[in-house]
Structure 1
Amino acid sequence: MTAAAVRDDGQRRAAVRAAGLAGIEGISVEGDRRTLTVLFFGKLPDRLDRHSFRVEGGRRGDGIRVLSVTRTADPEHPDAPANCLTLELDRPGDACAYRLHVLGPGFDRCYDRMEFSFRQGDPEPAAPAPAQEAGRLPSPPAPAVDYLAKDYASFRRLLLERLALTMPEWTERHASDLGVTLVELLAHVGDQLSYHQDAVATEAYLDTARLRTSVRRHARLVDYPMHDGCAARTFVCVETSRQLTLRPDDLAFTALPPGGTPRTGASIPAELLTAGPWPVYRPLERRDIVLRPEHNSIRLWTWGDQECCLPAGTTRATLLDQPPSAGEDRPLRLAPGDVIVFEENLDPETGTEADRNPAHRQAVRLTEVTRVVDTLYDTKVLDVAWADEDSLAFPLHVTTWRGPQGGPRDTVVARGNTVLVEHGIENTWGLGSHPERVEGPAGRTHRTDCPDPAAPRATRPFVAALRGARITRSAPYPRPADVTAGQSRQLLRLASRARDRVEAMHRSGAPLSAADHAYLLTLFGPGRLGRTLEGEGPRPALGALLSRFDEYLAPKVRRLETLARRSRSGYVLDRADIGWELAQSWGEEAARSIDPDNPALHGPASATLRPDPREALPAVQIRVAGTDGGTDTWTPRRDLLASGPRDRHMVGETDDEGRLSLRFGNGRTGAAPPPGRTLLATYRTGNGRAGNVGSEAVNRIASGSTLLDAVLRVRNPIPATGGTDPEPVAQVRLAAPRGPFRTLLRAVTAEDYETLAARHPGVQRAAATLRWTGSWYEADVALDAEGTSELPRGLSEDVRLTLHRFRRIGHDVVTGPAVRVPLDVALRVLVDPDHIAGDVRQALLRALRPGPQPGGGLGFFDPGVLTFGTPVRASTLVAVAAGVPGVRHTEVTRLRRLHPLRSGSGSPGPDVPPSGLLRLSPLEIARLDGDSTRPENGWLTLDLRGGR
């Protein structure tokens, strides 16, 4: 205990005691420096608590609070009244001076405060001693530290040298000596600590990081998604002898080399899939797979032509819908969403398989299937169509040859029974339901300290590792963008399909069936339907409904437009939420059409075979037994930033050794697994370019339950593509810093709106301006459609919804067509005497008017050539006209706007600008159709002289 100095003023103290007041006699500080013993003289007031005292001073100046006050007797005068108080403080003080101040009445002003120090009893620091005193030897110098020692050998050497100075009598250096063992153990620990320090400093920066996990996280900070590869995909065609309905979980396909198994045929036992190094493919479709024998090989119908050609860019064809053999009635069961493969079966010139082009094979996803009849030949056919993205990349010549047995053989056939498969085999295949066990979190949950004691404590993320082969990385299928685009199209078609169905009922004139009556009741409601159908018969009643079709269904159509806009903005409509509403308004078929599992919404087949490796996620599922007897499943995500406390999501990261680490949520961003539970992992193995096998490589099918004896042949007509190896770390270091600047994610300036609008499919170029409306800014975007002067229907709204996601807050986006400026152009042409003037005129019109040229290219005034602000040069017109055979001389006599006053110029101006350049504003596009029936779209005058 240390005591503060005591004041000595006897006369003043006697007066204080006589007045019945009290004062501070002295202050003692206990050894813990948190307890003060205060001795008073005189009579203390009765009510003293922690609010009656205040401690002031200190270096920090934030004040020390008094927690409690206890009254005790003076140890030197135990019989006297208790004038000693013990004060408990909230924390110890520093070496600076403090002052205890007593608050309230009952104390004299000269003795109600006193200074003290928490280090009153500590000795004063001694003055530094001289380097050498008489009778004492100088202290040894401080040991030299070699800061270049960073490994085990250098640490061992430094320790032995230090011990030679401090313990010169110890000279043992044998490896089995206990002292040498301790030295080597300390050197090993120092080597590990040194490596850890170097690793932390190295992995802290993208340019120096070596670990794959560190590079991935650095790249993620700059919005560059580093990928770990992607699995390959292909379409497999299965030929069967009878109809089969199979579950996708029970199927697997493999690519066996010739002689890879002694078994012949198209099916193999399930246990052989894991017995060799050959790649294995699993179906991606989650619906039941139906295989029909009539879809093995489908003939194309040429409408009586002996030779027919499907040119490049074709999106429609006609299939023969006839029984495969006499006496059987098995028509084709194709539907929108099915995938067929067009294949060149024979060479169209020689009629042999050896000369056919194996590259003339393409998969397309059907969007329309219509049953019609060729009345000329009394033949049932199917008109099928597919998306523009799946348009044929090569011409297909359809010719019929006579086969070896005398039967007809077509050069081009369509293959059905297609199954979309992806490289990778599950760890449970052929073994029943035995997923791999992963060590779960410990019995108690590790927690981190929060700065606020009242705030909830956050759980540290739990990380589990999967060791073994490389885990399959699978891109999402179907892609959400394809599903939303398909849902939008289906919603906008519901009204027209309903009208077509009602018109079909009206044309037939037959009595309404129960299904038709229920459909009309759903469509129009019982009130309108009952008043219309009663007493008139179906035909007049349906005619009355059709005449007011738009009026009756206007509210429903507006609701469809609202849902379509929501889909186009990127929101996937769930059938559980919207299906009931559509079923009540448009029927059950409408609810099924927007189901995300509907294959008609899964996008074109060409996009399916080109997965984006940066969207690929590990094909892993973690199952944990729940408390209610059920099973909770954790699915992978790219990150947990958007995951809620109850979302069972996880993040998979692959290290340099191919080991996958699964990071779970912490209870705030993603749910954490229950402590003490066993985690069961189900995953697929097989990734990268190893799955990119060629065509005809996949030749076997296996089932987890039974052998498929009805399967005649299994083949992949097109090669497997999309398999990608993990992205190298060195490539990420180069690409990640520049990645954010390559993709525009926000629209702030007018140029940003132009760039984002020009990315939209079908837009050749866009122009934008920012206009102040008086309250906010409005981005006016003008669109130039690709290959046409008129803006296609729906393109403006699609672009507006796309820009809405990138617009700056406070900007309104307005999209519309470009400002078309019709031109008035006149040319005086001198024709060579050896050429016919009429032929030269036609050649000039073809070279100048919009449209394709015979030798390739587009006309001078084609919409695909002219765009925003493109000036029209007289010299270029002269050059184009001079390039036409038979033109000896040409001159531009008129080059101006067709309506100069309407354009705002104020006067017609000269016929040809003095500079020979007709300028346009940034939002204007020149137009000259040269159509005499529509002169308002531009006028072209040709004055030909000479010739024959």
Structure 2
Amino acid sequence: MPLRRPILDDRSYEQLRDELVRRIPIYNPEWTDHNPSDPGITLLELFAFLGENLLYRFNQIPESTRLEYLQLLQIPLRPAQPARALVAMSTEVLNGVLVEKGTEVKAGKLVFETQTEVTVQPVSVQAVAKAVRPCPAADEDGESEVFDSFLRVVDALDGLDADEAAVCYENETVPEAGDGLPVDFDTAVDGMLWVAVLAAGDNDPEELREKFVKNAPVLLNLGFVPDPEPPAAADIYPCPGPGNETPAPAVQWQISTGRLADEGKPVYQALTVEGDSTRGLSREGVLRLKLPRESADMGVFALDDPDLGGTGDLPPQLDEETEARLLFWLRGFRLDESRFGKVLYVGVNAAETTQRRTARTEFLGTGTGQPGQEYRLVHRQVLVDTLTLEVEGPDGWEAWAEVDGFHASTESDRHYRLDSEAGRVTFGNGLQGYPPQLGQRIRARTYRYGGGAEGNVPAGAINKLSGLISGVEVSNPLAAHNGADAETVDQALDRIPGELRRRDRTVTRNDFRELSLQTPGVAVGRAECLPLFHPHTRHAEAAGVVSVVVWPKQDAVHPNAPIPDRNMLHSVCTWLDRRRLITTELYVIPPRYRKVAVSVGVKVRGGYGMDAVRHWVELVLRQYLAPLPPFGPSGEGWPLGRRVHGPELQAAALQVAGVEYLEGEGLTVAGWDMEAQRWVNGTVELELDEVPELAEITVLAGPPSDTPGEALGPPPPVRTPVPVPVLREEC
């Protein structure tokens, strides 16, 4: 039989009073004065007031019951997620300034903590790519000076060997503030990332090099941010986790020594990498390089022939003003000869920060020996894996271990359970988990708390450093990301059925889809699971492989074809990785789009305007082909791999009021063929991970166009910014 819900009484004071007054003639016809001044009416109003309060309390019973279900099922609210940001610091202090790990930096009242130690040096950097360009020709108009310069360089090289060929390039500099266009290092002629380290302020480069040797070893923190656009299919790796790690690409770093070997070959010294959270310059993070101890191992190459500058293995040439501040060059390259892709930002004196604060030691209470003891921390929104809890034992303070639940705990296990959102610590019952005994003191040695969507501050908002440190300026070149508010009670109640079914584990297709949508810190608009689909081989029967396709809720750059950025893919990947089976090879990938063009011929019903009908037919078809909910054939976006069939779109167009019928063939569809590089009429077949992108739609009064998409031509190529060279005048 169906479950019956209680019929709640939600009458107000006025309704109760009016109902009581209407019953007076039935039960007491002699009572004719119903005015508020009558004492009997006053008593009725008192009863109505008390009744309203009683009904209010009664109506809270279902809500209270639902909350009790949460407590009974031990499903705590998910805590707030802290935002993350990369900050860059600067100083003009010659000896540098130490900024320790855990130092607070602020964006207004919001506090961020540094996750890495950094000694801020009085330097700045310029990251440069030797981007391949066509060599100048003698007959090009206005290029005579460039061609003459090219000939001088070739002559200075004293000829090329039989296995060598001159390849021209131009310098492309990575934007210093992180707000410009990214530089594509795939076009670099040598595949290297060149970093010019410059003296800041009025510091003398020679004096600064001597200070580096005197204070050796000096660590230089380089911040690195790749282009947030989703990676190419070849750069998509399995989500990290036990048994599923992919080795980070090995990057070799070298420093210019200023020495030239035989035949003028530059000499470089290998550097030691002390830390790398960029995973081989493949994601946002900080790289720590140890500089040499000897002054002979760092310097600038002095050339007898200036025309040789920038040729071969020599560093790129800089303008005169920048060259005067140059300390040395750093260069990085991958040992497997792969490239770094598009790079958005490279900076020095960088540190990763998280929106959080560190709590001091707190005394929670004294044990009672009773089962299920609970204690509260001073602060809520405790970050995962940051609480160190200790209980006083016979031999002093002893650290206890945090567990998700006591189901696997024995009577002697020193375990506790933490509700991060509420800041509540719970101990076992004596059979499952050992409870603190009578008189044993309990303390939280340290923990970190914070988080929330307000931490997603824009670039430049983090501009204050702890007051104990002077002579250092700080700023975030890019916006903070991944901050999310704590889960509400309604959201927790909505996910109870799913939690009971999957128990926070990804096993079925729906588990992957539902948990992807719940990824904290990112706005996932849609997620689809493709079991057995391998994104590299595009094989649909790959054993043990699961691919999850995700879309953002909105994309201002690609409104018709929203694409997730690297940060979203990484966040979903990390979230699902903790919940997958250890035997699952998991990929989180962006959707692929196939461009389609549609032409519709309509007969307008009498009394309707053609412009209005055209607008509504176009709107209906755009929404019908849209990839995000609440649009698509069933309100969940266009299904992955579903063909775009003309008769299906005709049925959607006929739903518009004002369309009497479709003329001629009614509707024609064309899809872009990537191999043939042309538009092909007819049903557009999509691959398993593809959805359509409506590139063109035309609504005509009369027969539709036979060649939809022809006016568009091929999709325009992606434009790469090409710098215009500035020739220096020679005196």
The reply to whether TM is greater than 0.5 is no
Q: Which has the higher contact order (CA 8 A, sep 6+)?
A: 2
TM superposition score normalised by structure 2: 0.40
Which structure's residues are more often helix, by fraction? 1
TM superposition score normalised by structure 1: 0.32
Pair member with larger Rg: 1
